[in-house]
Structure 1
Amino acid sequence: MTSYDHLIIGGGQVADDAARALREHGATGSIGILSSDEDAPYTRPALTKKLWIDPEFGEDAVPLGTAEDTGAELRVRAVVTAIDREAKQVELEGGERIGYGTLLLGTGSEPRRLEGPEDERVIHFRSFADYRTLRHLLTDGSRAVVVGGGYIGAEIAASLSLNGAHVTLVFPDDVLGASQFPPSLAQRYQKLFTDHGVELLPGRRAEQITVQDDADVGVTLDDGTAVGGDIVVIGLGAEPRLDLARQAGLEVSEGVVVDEHLRTSDPAIWAAGDIIEYPDAILGRTRIEHVDHARESGAAAGRAMAGAEAPYDHTPYFYSMVYGVRWEAVGTLDPSLEMLEVHHDTQRSVVYYLDDQGRPVGVLMWQIDGARDAARTVIADRITDRDLLRGSIG
């Protein structure tokens, strides 16, 4: 039976950073990575942004080079079906068992799916393979229906429209971005899309995929209307893959419960990335799905597995970019909260999201660079003085 000193389940950003941290912090033992993906670890944000808009950034820049740089043994298309904690082994589809000394769960998330028939032209967008399929299908003038107004849906809609597609975007909010931004910024955000020719179908939810043989693929909406095109891209977010941890008897709540060192309820098992519910030093116990968290928590878990004592004390930021407009945020973006908007000029804005005691719990930075630490400080210090807040970031 194959066995590794350090075994990682999941082949995403967490695995890359964890393997690198293990080596950088003196772990000389064997590292194994079991990935259900068909590709070696790669940079996921590029799939909806850089690959579409930067001609200097090609597909060869997407892989992270994890195995080559760390000496880890990587197996792709390897689906782990069970963890035997007592024997310190994992079981794969087909029954093969692999042993471990320490184990890291970095299983990531699964895209939410829409009911309906399977078809190559309908893509539940998440992976590098999905990008390649979409790129292959796209031709100048393609009619693309994109479902979802969150990160994936909005970024894909923008990228496709910049690559010659006629895009229809279906989303449930009355204004694109209204579930995160104040009305002034949501209107500005939506205008970016209409200015680039994207047809918007606001206030609508897609209920089912439709396929008509070699004719259109499309979706049926909640009002009964049908929207069709040459390609359908589903970007409805993702759900953390928690079943493996649950079946192993690990403590699971909103995510896999870990301590400040990212150790689970089993002292030989750590977890990182999308799947963990962890004690954030500023935000409190939380679960976050963005790439900054995957990178930093993966590295922290690798350090901990190598014997480091320092806790994971990084508060992640998240970001998006469409049509050259970039926004970043820390904490909670909930427009139902009281918001303090500070507009520095016609392009640059900061929005503070305040709890019922006037304390900031989230900060949105619109077209403002280099202010993440300031945003973290504002939340950590619980600044309630409005004038002080207005001058904190700019």
Structure 2
Amino acid sequence: MGNVVVIGGGQAGASLVARLRGKGFEGGITMIGAEPVPPYQRPPLSKAYLLGDMEEDRLFLRPRAFYDDQDIELILGTPVTAVDTESQTIIADGRKIPYDDLVFCTGSAPRRLPAAIGGDLGGVFAVRGIADVDAMRPRFTEGARLLIVGGGYIGLEAAAVASKLGLKVTLVEMAERILQRVAAPETADYFRDLHTRHGVDIREGVGLGALTGTDGQVSAAELTDGSTLDVDFVIAGVGILPEIELAEAAGLAIENGIRTDRTGRTSAPNVWAAGDCASFPYRGAQLRLESVGNAIDQAEAVADNIMGAGRAYEAKPWFWSDQYDVKLQIAGLNTGYDRVVVRGGGDAVSHWYFAGQTLVALDAMNDPRAYMVGKRLIEAGRSPAPEAVADPDSDLKALLKA
């Protein structure tokens, strides 16, 4: 059956190797991760793990013994430095490893604040790996002054944890509102109100001008509105970028990530990609999804196709975020929506995105029933009447039968 080599020890890589063995693949499997720990969950990093409610070993997707039991060679703390698609070999820590099939599961990396504005000062962090959170967690002490740059979900989740622990939190968002790229104004309004009620100072339409420090440690921030803040540390939540450098150096086609076809194949023979790093055909473009669900589903599709299934990956986008006592569940992609229908009110509310009469996405805050119904409708390609969604007396389950 040959040898499968997986570059990347995250959710996609772990899902792929488990799927291969679960489907009866008897060839060699090698997974190489740059971090020194086995594959682990990333979403809890900015929530339960940062809050101290989850120990490191509970983050691991599977115990180390699983990989030994399944005869999966797990190489940790070792970045891959080169890929040669002609000889079908990779180089890791000076070791040349041959492959019959190679899979890029390299994930993504956070955008860092530029050194030119003080991003290299001590006390400036981004949230991506265990090491990042371990480094910043000792600073989460009551009364500490935290500046969060970026009003996306990572920034808001970090703000929720910091507020819970009694820090003085200021969050700045350069766009005109928080969540501008990913959610409707109605959802942004909901979370702005939630954070304001918990004491977070949210400043929209305001960017970071520069950070200044004392003895190499950040101590103040100059904002683009001319104001200044005294800060004890800073978290940058300004987005992530796909890890494509290794693939690009190997000559693979890049288009919004590592470009793949519907089966997960890249432009090089016997080379595949899955997860945050990969883009795939979706509604006439190359879509890249940054989510746990996509990492699992796409990786499993690639595993099946390595074994000859030849099945197209059909994305079913879903996401979530936990902030304070609110669980946000998202189904679908809101691209192209022109109307938002609001159902419910108070803490339990759902926002239904329509493009014309077509339901394309849903944001459900503390409303798991609305999420379940909306997700099933979207995946089935069915759209309820917007008026029925908005009617508080309508039965949600009846929408599935309409």
- Which TM class, normalised by the smaller chain length? 0.7 to 0.9
Q: Distance in 1 between matches of 2:396 and 2:272?
A: 36
Aligned to 1:329: 330
Q: Does 1:8 align with 2:6?
A: yes
Gaps of 5+ in 2: 398-402
Aligned to 1:258: 260
Residues 317 and 37 of structure 1: CA distance in aligned 2, closer, same or farther (over 3 Å) = same
Conservation of the 8 A alpha-carbon contact between 2:11 and 2:40: yes
Q: Does 1:369 align with 2:368?
A: yes
What do the CA deviations read for 1:329-379 (whole angstroms, capped 9, x no partner)? 223336x84223232243333323233x44333222222215356435336
SS of equivalent to 1:362: strand
2:129 to 127, 130, 133: 127
Identical counterparts, % of pairs: 30
SS of equivalent to 1:78: coil
Q: Distance in 1 between matches of 2:331 and 2:35?
A: 30
Conservation of the 8 A alpha-carbon contact between 1:114 and 1:209: no
Q: Distance in 1 between matches of 2:221 and 2:36?
A: 28
Aligned to 1:22: 20
Residues 218 and 296 of structure 1: CA distance in aligned 2, closer, same or farther (over 3 Å) = farther
Aligned to 2:204: 202
Q: How high is the TM-score relative to the length of structure 2?
A: 0.86
Q: Distance in 1 between matches of 2:156 and 2:9?
A: 25
- How far did residue 288 of structure 1 move? 0.6
- How far did residue 13 of structure 1 move? 0.8
Instruction: Output the aligned Cα RMSD.
Output: 2.7
Q: Does 1:49 align with 2:47?
A: yes
Q: Distance in 2 between matches of 1:54 and 1:374?
A: 33
Conservation of the 8 A alpha-carbon contact between 1:145 and 1:228: no
Residues 318 and 283 of structure 1: CA distance in aligned 2, closer, same or farther (over 3 Å) = farther
Residues 186 and 320 of structure 1: CA distance in aligned 2, closer, same or farther (over 3 Å) = same
Q: Distance in 1 between matches of 2:163 and 2:211?
A: 22
Amino acid at match of 2:386: R
Residues 268 and 214 of structure 1: CA distance in aligned 2, closer, same or farther (over 3 Å) = closer
Aligned to 1:87: 87
Higher mean C-alpha deviation, range 119-128 or range 299-308: 299-308
Residues 182 and 162 of structure 1: CA distance in aligned 2, closer, same or farther (over 3 Å) = same
Q: Does 1:220 align with 2:222?
A: yes
Residues 37 and 214 of structure 1: CA distance in aligned 2, closer, same or farther (over 3 Å) = same
Conservation of the 8 A alpha-carbon contact between 1:40 and 1:76: yes
- How far did residue 384 of structure 1 move? 7.2
- How far did residue 239 of structure 1 move? 0.6
Higher mean C-alpha deviation, range 325-334 or range 371-380: 371-380
Aligned to 2:383: 383
Residues 86 and 216 of structure 1: CA distance in aligned 2, closer, same or farther (over 3 Å) = closer
- How far did residue 52 of structure 1 move? 4.0
Amino acid at match of 1:5: N
What do the CA deviations read for 1:167-192 (whole angstroms, capped 9, x no partner)? 11111244434544444442231121
2:278 to 262, 276, 279: 276
Aligned to 2:400: none
Higher mean C-alpha deviation, range 317-326 or range 299-308: 299-308
Q: Distance in 2 between matches of 1:392 and 1:301?
A: 39
SS of equivalent to 2:334: coil
Q: Does 1:31 align with 2:29?
A: yes
Aligned to 1:59: 56
Q: Distance in 1 between matches of 2:395 and 2:224?
A: 44
- How far did residue 297 of structure 1 move? 1.6
Aligned to 2:190: 188
1:145 to 120, 144, 147: 147
Aligned residues: 386
- How far did residue 114 of structure 1 move? 0.9
Gaps of 5+ in 1: none
Higher mean C-alpha deviation, range 57-66 or range 156-165: 57-66
What do the CA deviations read for 1:95-133 (whole angstroms, capped 9, x no partner)? 442211211101111111111252441112211111111
- How far did residue 212 of structure 1 move? 1.8
Amino acid at match of 1:164: G
- How far did residue 162 of structure 1 move? 0.8
SS of equivalent to 2:35: coil
Aligned to 2:113: 114
Aligned to 2:233: 231
Conservation of the 8 A alpha-carbon contact between 2:125 and 2:235: yes
Conservation of the 8 A alpha-carbon contact between 2:67 and 2:74: no
Aligned to 1:360: 359
SS of equivalent to 2:99: strand
Aligned to 1:319: 320
Higher mean C-alpha deviation, range 109-118 or range 220-229: 220-229
